[in-house]
Chains A and B, each alone.
Chain A
Amino acid sequence: MANLQSAFLGIKSPNPFWLASGPPTDKKINVLRAFEAGWGGVVWKTLGTQVKNVSSRYSSLNFTGRKIAGFNNIELISDRPLEINLQEIREVMRLFPDRAMVVSLMADNDRVSWHELVKRVQDNGAHGLELNFGCPHGMVERGMGATVGQDPDIARMIVEWVMEVAVLPVITKLTPNVHSVVPVGKAVVEAGSHGLSLINTIQSVTGIDLDTLIPNPNVGGHSAFGGYCGPAVKPIALKFITTLAQDEATCRTPISGIGGITTWKDAVEFILLGAGNVQICTAAMLGGFRIIRDLCDGMNNWMDEKGYSTIDDFRGLSVPHLTRWEELDLNFHVVADISQDKCIHCGLCYITCEDTSHQAISKEDGFPYNTYKIKEEECVGCNLCKIVCPVDGCIAMKEQRKGAEYLNWKEFQERGLPLSDH
């Protein structure tokens, strides 16, 4: 059995799965249920100046019959009194001393407010602080949340304020509503933030009710941009954490990975790209806290099969495999190969290649089943056919190198090699 224990910034938890700051970590009863179910830690829902929330807060994106490919919310930070939150945090920590308790914070944008909030939470007891520089709705209009996370100078200034009084590990949570998270990530790390967490949600409109013409979620005839999350955002999150793992200034900063993690496989991917642990919100909101069982079990089994005994054994192992396009080997070439034994003759490879790719598949009419074959000389190895094929292992991409040696684009140009002539 692999060891799933985690010590992100020295904060110990029995597994690397924390519940991200959000509705599931809003109050004691939820968090107790989460810990009973086996979650390793929580980031308590953001504390700050108490707010008022609207009713009708969530909406979702369904896709080809699957519900909730993406999820969206317009809920603000905690709408409960600070004192009650702090008291509940104390009670939960007493009942579950082995779990991680990090508290998310978002104070008004002045030094005194940040100092007061940080001190109150520290005095109350917690294992760490997470600064919410990411919330893309509601708080943004008040100059907080993502507004802070979009400006390196403001973000640096606030982290400096926080570090003046912080005695606990500080994680800064970044917004993806930027062209790059690196400038802000760099700024807050330079200002002293011990760790980073990302991504927060992405500003979005999930859809419109085609009867009423009102976008979702409908709040009395109107809606507002919400924060998008769930499975659909995972690829964006993976890209953002990789950019931090690759940057000289941030590559040594521990990262808590967030964004659409639904299964243990997603979590493994975040860790392979450098995350020290992961945070989950949407998947728990859609399936309940019981999903923690397979998150742990699946990761454990995978680690056993791969021979990894701790999380650190595989952390970041995929980072070196992500490089710049210019460095990719142009002599690497694959062509598709359709297994006629496995083919079910659905024709999806053919029609997609014919219509939108390189006309590299031939069709021999049959009744009722056509035969599809690859025209190797036309195949550019784009993977499209393999992606659309409904049968696992039916289409394989076979390596047929164009040359023995590594050849990148720069060398290709320098040697004056010929480009495609058709």
Chain B
Amino acid sequence: MSPNVFSSQLSRRNLLRGSAVGLGALAVGPTLAACSGGGDDPNAPAGIDDVPKIELGPPRTDITYPEGYIGPRAHDRAPFGDGTTTFRVVVPQDATNVGDWATNATSAEMERRTGLKIEYVPVLVRGTDGSIDMTKINAMLASGDLPDAFLGIPFTTAQLSLYGQQGLFVALDDYIETYAPMTRQAMAEYPDLRGLKVSTDNKLYTMLGVNDCYHCRSSNNRAWISQSYLDKVGGTMPETTDDLRELLLEFKNQNPSGKPGFLPFASSESTPIDTYFMNAFTYNPGNPGGNRTGGWLRLNGGTVEFVANTPEWREGLRYLHQLGQDGTLTRAAFSMKDTELQQNGNKGLVGFARAYWWGSFFNPINLDMDEPWRDYVAVPPLKGPAGVQYTGWDYYGYYTDALQITSACSNPELLVQWTDHMMDLEATMWTYAGIKDDNWSFDNSGKGINGKSSLFANKLFPAPAGQSWGQYAVMYRSSDFRLGEKVDPSAPTFEAGLYEAGQAYEAYAQPKEMQLPPLIIADADAAAVADTATAVTAAVKTGLAQFSLGELDPNNDADWQSYTDQFTAMGIDAYLQAHQTAYESRPA
């Protein structure tokens, strides 16, 4: 660690000691002010006083962009660091893709581009089930063992808000205003971006990254069907819920695979099926995941409402109940392990699958043209009996974990510039795909994923360990950028196939006003809301399985009544009210 950084920590420690005895606070005041950032009116960041605003020059002319391209561009930007200060940056450990951060090729490239020396501190942030495990990060924060910054660490917005207001993280609006032209461009091109990460005090305690994955916007709502099995039973692509019911019965009766154990309908325990089916009855956002807002909540004219106890939901349950009575929707769809689903897929036993992608029901999977997964095509959203046809479209899922600067950092402006350089087109390519020309190159000779002219071509992706930063950098991967990847028509990649699948859903996306954006629940309510969310999640999942499998009957009013009553008992009203308050008071 450099003397510079060290002295700043010493003075902070002095301050703590000083304030305890009422001495010494004045002497270190200026150092602190330099770190915490100024600006009284957060709605219009004032920038840093007396520092000229950094603007991007004209983009490099050697790269041809597709028509109407919105996203990162390559600029010649001079290094700004002189190498005298080394910054400690905590990063996720990932031996498979990143390897050793210290000797990684992209780490060297970033130092060359910026002149900034970084000491990477890798930390494992995943538990053995792939879930987020912040044990070590929390220990570092709680014990005052602060690095200069965190990069790619999965803090929730609630944590950012909390740590920011405790003074652990530096507010960055003014720094971005002065030092980060590429970030400003991303914020202008993605107007919602800041709002997705801003804290309850309307300050931004994180840099902003974009990874706008087109197909991920509908990924929780996709279903797949085997084209060859469909042809074999003489069926056509189902368009309505009734079509699908008929088709599943055909699958069940004719068994197009000819093998025992065929699954007309397949899914696994980690895959919710309500996101696909219920959207034929009412807009159902499902339960998009742990660090987002609570499940099955949507907006109705600005009012937060719960979906899973509505009459439309009951209609949906009636339909699933029918499938259960037909014997096409079985217990296996709720309880099958992910690996079992993959084994069934490998054996050709899957007819219709509700799954994230082909890899959910094939393992191993590769890009050969004769691979069986290529037989499975996306099933567009179904039209329900009342004509409802939605797909849960995620308008807000494109932000990344980005970078947070801590109060231990003596020169936040340097790390802000470092981050901003990372969002340059060429740097973004480096961080995610590794060594230029070996793994990728700029290439406008072909068609991109979206059919426009291509921007770049990947020769080797993912990069071998030690070359790229995986997905942990502060990227600016706009939708146009991602879809500018050149497609080899003779061997389309997964991303190309998923783009096509995503297109089948976009037309049915719910209006944006219906999706509840990510919210930060006030501290006072947070624990109660989390408890209710857990109870609600369990109740909805159990109810879905019980009604579908015939343990409860959706046509029986008593069953339905007791199902809906349990939500009242769980305190759904207070739960909704907490979300409503958070929604209305969120910084605009």
Q: Do A and B bind each other?
A: no
